[in-house]
Structure 1
Amino acid sequence: MPSATLPPPPPQWVLDLHSTPVNKPKNASIADPPGYTASLTKKERLQSSKTAMRKPPTPEEMDTLKLKKAWELAIAPAKQLPMNAIGMYMTGNTLQIFSIFMVFTLFKTPVLAVLAIQRSFAPFETPGTSGRLIGVKLVYVLTNLLMLGLGIWKVNQMGLLPTTRSDWLAWEGERTWSERALPRDWL
Structure 2
Amino acid sequence: MAAQPPPPPQWVLDLNATPASKPKGATFSDPPGYTAALSSKQKSQSSKTAVRQAPTSEEMDTLKMKKAWELAIAPAKQLPMNAIGMYMTGNTLQIFSIFMVFTLFKTPILAVASIQRTFAPYETPGTSGRLLGVKAVYILMNMLMLALGIWKVNGMGLLPTTRSDWLAWEGERTWSERAVPREWL
Question: Which band: TM-score by shorter chain?
Answer: 0.7 to 0.9
Q: Name the structure 2 match of 1:119.
A: 117
Question: How far has the Cα of 1:98 moved from its partner?
Answer: 1.3
Q: Name the structure 2 match of 1:167.
A: 165
| 5+ residue gaps, structure 2 | none
Question: How far has the Cα of 1:33 moved from its partner?
Answer: 3.4
1 CA distance for matches of 2:183 and 2:18? 121
Cα distance change of structure 1 residues 35 and 13 upon mapping to structure 2, 3 Å threshold: closer
2 CA distance for matches of 1:42 and 1:69? 40
Sequence identity percentage: 76
Cα distance change of structure 1 residues 41 and 186 upon mapping to structure 2, 3 Å threshold: closer
TM-score (norm 1): 0.84
TM-score (norm 2): 0.85
Q: Which moved more, 1:31-40 or 1:162-171?
A: 31-40
Please list the CA deviations of residues 149-185 of structure 1 after superposition, one character each: whole Å capped at 9, or x if unmatched: 00000000011111101111111111112x2045979
Q: Name the structure 1 match of 2:177.
A: 180
Q: Give the letter aligned to residue 128 of structure 1.
A: G
| 5+ residue gaps, structure 1 | none
Q: Name the structure 1 match of 2:64.
A: 66
Q: Give the letter aligned to residue 32 of structure 1.
A: D
Across the aligned residues of Structure 1 and Structure 2, the Cα RMSD in angstroms comes to 2.8
Q: Name the structure 2 match of 1:85.
A: 83
**SS of aligned partner of 2:62:** helix
2 CA distance for matches of 1:181 and 1:98? 52
1 CA distance for matches of 2:100 and 2:168? 30
Q: Name the structure 2 match of 1:103.
A: 101
What is the number of equivalent residue pairs in this alignment?
Answer: 183
Q: Name the structure 1 match of 2:152.
A: 154
